Amino acid sequence: MPRNYLTLLLLFGAHIIFGQDRDCDCIAELNNVSALIKNAKSYRYEIKKKDRIAAFNKWQDEIEQEIEADSLSRYFCVGYLQKYISFIDDRHNQIYFVPDTVSIHTPTYSKAIDTTNIKGAISGIYHAGNDMVLVKKENDSTWLGITLKSGSDVWPRGKIRLRINKTPNGNLELFEYYKNGLLFYQKNIEISGGRIHSTFWNKENAYFFNKNHKDNFNYTSINPSFDYMGIKTLSRTSTLIKEAETFYGQILPKLTKKNIIIDLRNNGGGAINQARALLKSLKRNQAIQHIYVLINFKTASSAELLALKLKEDKRTLIAGENSRGMLTYGYGNHSFSTQTNCYRFQVSLSTKHENKEFSSYESVGIPPDLKLDNKSDWIDQIVTLEAGETHN
């Protein structure tokens, strides 16, 4: 193939991938999303009703300036759009992009990778399963998470997985690429105890905050004073409804110990009606003295609502870490769904105002009554705590 012809093909391919003409770029997508977001239920309540249109427009101008100043904005565009809509406290508003080829749509670190001179509390080597990154300070307000190794071939050494920025108000924000290439933005993140909170990334390669439930519904007798129940999902498919009915019918009569742990870690929600039998049974069960509810950063939506319903019982203690923070709005029967004009990013917006009284939890999550660390198994921490209190 002639070299000039090959060059033209490569240039054309880059043009298609990133839309780098004056009518189709990240700024154009920002303007497109600013029109689409008006279809969200939360826009009407949080922006129009509260007379925040001028402030929201100013925020859009700030995001536009950040995009223009970022040499990697074509890679982080969907993250900037997520940052823009995060002005509205509604995590059911989502913008995302599923890349067909991860390597094309993710940036590569252009300098030599040096793991011998790591300084600072944030900098260091972090793990997430089989993946390892070097978080390196680039300047006074930016850290990059550079791939050192990965369990996936689509993340070769040198690919950027994370970008952490210090905002003008001193808070930290995160742009994170998942293993499948999806990019997600989080504001006001915390980095402490060797972990980037609300993510899997940690320096010790330990995951006591995580729980991969084996089945949709799990029961175990831990010891003579503790029962354990793990609920993986609250999805309301006909199959899961029948499975839940069978599980609760068999297990609820067996709950006679004085303590029970209800594990909602990684439960992304569904519909709380699936757990009505559980709530009714616990209310009548006088043998139980303490109810411990475990939540983590992936406990979301109806699973959070279930945790709060359980919290209405004075015997309940919520333990773990802050949940996802998706309570105030929802999709009702379905979301408002479309795509952006240029890059065809997927857009899903809220269509229902669910729980106004839970607005303080939106984007922040439910704070646990008992915060658990990442140094040992969370179930063991609860059992040890109860044993200590019993003997004091």
**Quick one: three-class SS letters along 339-390?**
ECCCCCCEEEECCEECCHHHHHHCCCCCCCCEECCCCCCHHHHHHHHHHHHH
Q: Taking the chain, what is the end-to-end CA distance rounded to the nearest angstrom?
A: 81
* Least trusted range by pLDDT, from 15-29, 106-120, 155-169: 15-29
251's enclosing H/E stretch is helix 238-251
Q: Is the Cβ–Cβ distance between 75 and 69 less than 8 Å? A: no
Q: How far is CA 148 from CA 3, 121, 126, 127, 207, in A?
A: 34, 19, 10, 10, 20
**What number of other Cβ atoms are within 10 A of residue 72's Cβ?**
14
Q: Is the Cβ–Cβ distance between 148 and 103 less than 8 Å? A: no
| Percent of the chain's residues with pLDDT above 70 | 93
CATH 3.90.226.10 spans which residues of the chain?
217-327+362-391
Q: With cut-offs at 50, 70 and 90, classify the pLDDT of residue 93.
A: very high
> Measuring CA to CA, which residue among 195, 177, 205, 173 is closest to residue 121?
195
Strand partners, 143: 137, 164
Highest mean pLDDT among 4-18, 58-72, 354-368: 58-72
Kindly report the CATH number that applies to the domain delimited by 217-327+362-391.
Answer: 3.90.226.10
Given a cut of 90, is residue 6 above it in pLDDT? no
Type of residue found at 221:
S
**What number of other Cβ atoms are within 10 A of residue 134's Cβ?**
22
Instruction: Give the pLDDT confidence score for residue 22 in this predicted structure.
Output: 53
Q: Is the Cβ–Cβ distance between 390 and 382 less than 8 Å? A: no
Q: What is the pLDDT of residues 162-212, one digit of tens each?
A: 999 999 999 999 999 999 999 999 999 999 999 999 999 999 999 999 999
Mean pLDDT of 135-145: 96
Given a cut of 70, is residue 390 above it in pLDDT? no
DSSP 126: E
